[in-house]
Amino acid sequence: MSRVAANDVPPDILDDERDETELAPEAGSGIELDFDATPASVEAGAAVIRRFWATLPAAPGVYRMIDPKGDVLYVGKAKSLKARVGSYVRGAGHSTRITRMIAETASMEFVTTETETEALLLEANLIKQLRPRYNVVLRDDKSLPYILLTADSEAPQVVKHRGARNRKGYYFGPFASVWAVNRTINALQRAFLLRSCSDSYYENRTRPCLLFQIKRCSGPCTGEIPLPEYGVLAEEARAFLSGRSSAVKERLAAEMNHASEELEFERAARYRDRLAALSAVQSTQGINTQNTEEADIIAIDEQAGSFCVEVFFFRNHQNWGNRAYFPRADKALGRAEVLASFIAQFYDDKPPPRLVLLSEEIEECALLAGALTVKAGRKVEISVPQRGERRQLVESALRNAKEALGRRLAETSSQAKLLESLGAAFGLPTAPRRIEVYDNSHIMGTNAVGAMIVAGPNGLMKTHYRTFNMRSEELTPGDDYAMMREMLRRRFARLVKENPRPASSAEAPDAGEMPPGSVASAEAEREATNPESADPESFPAWPDLVLIDGGKGQLEAARSALAEVGATGVPLVGVAKGRDREAGRETFFMPGREPIRLPPRDPALYFVQRLRDEAHRFAIGAHRAKRKREMTRSPLDEIPGIGPARKRALLHHFGTMKAIQRAALDDLMRAPGVNAATARTVYDFFRGTAG
């Protein structure tokens, strides 16, 4: 990568290069300006670009335009960096979006590549990482789930999988939802009796688990089935998921008939149940296809300057679900341009299918298909079908995109009204764009967990949720006030460190101390104290409102925690439950103001109740998960040097944990795989003499 500062380019090079035909006329002449772009700022930005242009090669690569703060404004690819970057300093023909981008450019960075295909793949990767303001950005919060049939253990395991494919095995998908994956895995368990337990659980079993008893696992952990026979089951499952379902079903049907002829009716019934499970997998996949074995159907719709991309996944002639995406894109962009950028980013972290069917013709279709072919290691075709079954699939995806975008716009409008009513109810100068709600959960102080949920213009922002394990040694078990202090201290100390606000924000008053009449200048104050609010598409890191589940005590604990870390000016509201914890009778506490109640039918009251219930649900879920982990932990896990193999050896030798705890030193040393040093460590641990 070559990074060149504008001032580092010698003047004589600039003078020599001005005669090149690729360099356009001086910037600033004839450009239509808008927003904060002025002739002077556009000229300054174009001058920066021109200086970088002077030393660029006519080679493919990726360029980044950077603003004065060091943030990336735009990532682009080029067949010729010199020609593409030179186009930005032409005096006319730029859209408002490009004009503003030029005006904000203070520096540039470049990466040269061997081919334009490599440049396209790198561009998509950088856009997803950097999320530049002027690019089409895919809001892909979660990776799609897959089914993984492992190949790194003696007994293959079938599990759902997300993320990087680091584990050895066979991956099938993607599925549109975890629900579809769970449903399919359950059916596969009934059909092929494969284990779904973790390797550590499998290695430490001394008797078959409940799944074996209900005939959803063949019990390889305890030798209920020989490993070679289990391997045959795993191979059948792989064949079925790979599309060879008819062959698998025919073999099972033959085995069922043979068992019936031999009068082994119980075995025949087991084959019958497995056949029924396989039929359930196929029948619940939705609309199946006759001529389309493996394809992604991608359709885009645009309404009111917003875009929705609907993706349907077809594998093995079966519909494995669909998902709607709402990419961030400039309103001036067309559907085809947004769709092309979406596809490049969408397949950055997932393998493309053999066929991608689109609703719109896109530029550089051949280049994009070539890039996906390189990524997949096999031919990938991209086309816009005009007739037949494939066209019907695209029209179905387009219809779903229109409906999803319509629902999204309606929900956004309703959410905006709720945020406005909430801001008015609590005396905020403007409607809050980021609301954080805090709650904690524990049982008599044990397994204490704090939880934060986040809501914004698009509803609940689950990717921003956080949990806090209470770890302070000074924390008294069951002290809710101390838990609230620790949680908010940790949250805002990190926020102050990683994303500090401008100095002016520290002087902003609390919500309850805002003087009347401040609403008139609210918008200007908001942009001064929260620069992220100037960009309507961005989601601020700092909350505009913090809701605390509790009354005066919790509110004061929260306020002291924020003051301790220097996070002043954050509006705080305590939500105290009504008498008998009755919904609709909540009392709201704010610093510097008398407690208030909202009218029983106020939409803002219902909104707060929903947020509080969601925080409560999330906190209880985190607490239960932590408590479950604690309950399933073995004391052997706490002993240094005791791994899965030795733990399994001890359990197999003694049978129970109590027997290990009571065992004499000589008995421990006689256990297979346990040497004298390990036996002494275990013996001392259970008698409190370790260390």
pLDDT, residue 515, reads 38
Pairing of strands 107-112, 169-172: unpaired
pLDDT of residue 547: 92
CB-side neighbour CA atoms (13 Å) of 593: 23
Give me the pLDDT at residue 579, please: 63
Which pLDDT value is given to residue 63? 93
635-686 shares the fold of 428-514+538-629: no
Peptide bond into 174 cis (omega under 30): yes
Question: CA-CA distance, 387 to 376, in Å (whole number)?
Answer: 27
Number of CB atoms found within 10 A of residue 507's CB: 9
Do residues 325 and 144 lie in contact, with contact meaning Cβ atoms separated by under 8 Å?
no
Q: Look at residue 384 in the predicted model and tell me its pLDDT.
A: 92
Three-state SS string over 573-630 comes to EEEECCHHHCCCCCEEECCCCCCECCCCCCHHHHHHHHHHHHHHHHHHHHHHHHHHHH
pLDDT along the chain (691 residues), means of 10: 39 32 34 57 87 88 90 90 86 78 90 88 86 82 79 86 83 78 78 82 84 85 88 83 65 74 73 66 52 86 88 81 85 88 86 90 89 88 89 90 84 84 88 90 74 89 86 69 87 87 49 37 39 53 89 87 87 80 75 85 84 88 76 69 77 77 83 83 74 44
Phi, psi torsion values for 385, nearest 5 degrees = -65, 150
> What does each C-alpha distance from 380 to 295, 383, 495 come to in angstroms?
10, 10, 44
> What's the CATH fold of domain 428-514+538-629?
Nucleotidyltransferase; domain 5 (3.30.420)
Q: What CATH architecture does domain 2-130 belong to? A: 3-Layer(aba) Sandwich (3.40)
Partners of 467 in the β-ladder? 451
The domain made up of 635-686 is a member of CATH 3.10.310.10? no
Q: Helix (H) and strand (E) counts for the chain? A: 22, 19
Q: What is the pLDDT of residue 580?
A: 55
Exposed e or buried b for every residue in 295-307, given b needs 16+ CB within 10 A?
bbbbbbbbeeebb
On whether the CB atoms of residues 366 and 268 are closer than 8 A, the answer is no
Separation between Cα atoms, residue 587 and residue 576, nearest integer Å = 5
Distance of CA 426 to the CA centre of its chain: 32
* Whether the predicted model's global pTM rises above the 0.75 cut: no
Taking alpha carbons only, the member of 542, 546, 553, 549 closest to residue 614 is: 549
Q: Considering Cα of 514, then 519, then 521, then 522, what sign does the dihedral take?
A: positive
Do the beta carbons of residue 80 and residue 59 sit within 8 Å? Answer: yes
CATH topology of domain 295-408: Nucleotidyltransferase; domain 5 (3.30.420)
Q: Domain segments of the chain: what residues?
A: 2-130, 146-283, 295-408, 428-514+538-629, 635-686
